[in-house]
Amino acid sequence: DIQLTQSPSFLSASVGDRVTITCRASQGINSYLAWYQQKPGKAPKLLIYLASILQSGVPSRFSGSESGTEFTLTISSLQPEDFATYYCQQLNSYPSFGPGTKVDIK
C-alpha cells in the first residue's frame, strides 16, 4: 500500500501569508496526486489534481508542484476563507489520503 505523510500537521498563519504544505508518498505515484480543502462540518472540496492542475473555479492563489515523491500545495496569499484542513490523496493505486494539515488563524 502507498502511504502518504503530510507536514506540518498544524500551522498557524495570518491573512496575506504565503503557506506551503508538503505531502510525501512512500513510492512513486506518477503525478496521481490531488489536494482537497475541508471546512468543519462540510464535505471536502477538490482544489488540484494531477499534482499541479487547478480545478475549475479554484482561485489562482492555490498552486501545486511535485519533485519525485514530494508534492507541495502553496497558497500564495492566505485569505480568511482559506482557514481549513487540507488533505493530499494519491490515486495511483487504491486511493489513500494523507493525515491532513490544519491551517489556523494566528
Residues forming contacts to other proteins in the complex (CB under 8 A) are 1, 32, 34, 36, 38, 43-46, 49-50, 53, 55, 87, 89, 91, 94-100
Q: Which long-range contacts (CB under 8 A, 24 or more apart) does 81-84 make?
A: 82/19, 82/37, 84/37, 84/38, 84/39
20 or 55, CB closer to other proteins?
A: 55
Least CB distance to other proteins at residue 2 (A)? 11
11 or 44, CB closer to other proteins?
A: 44
Residues counted in the chain: 106
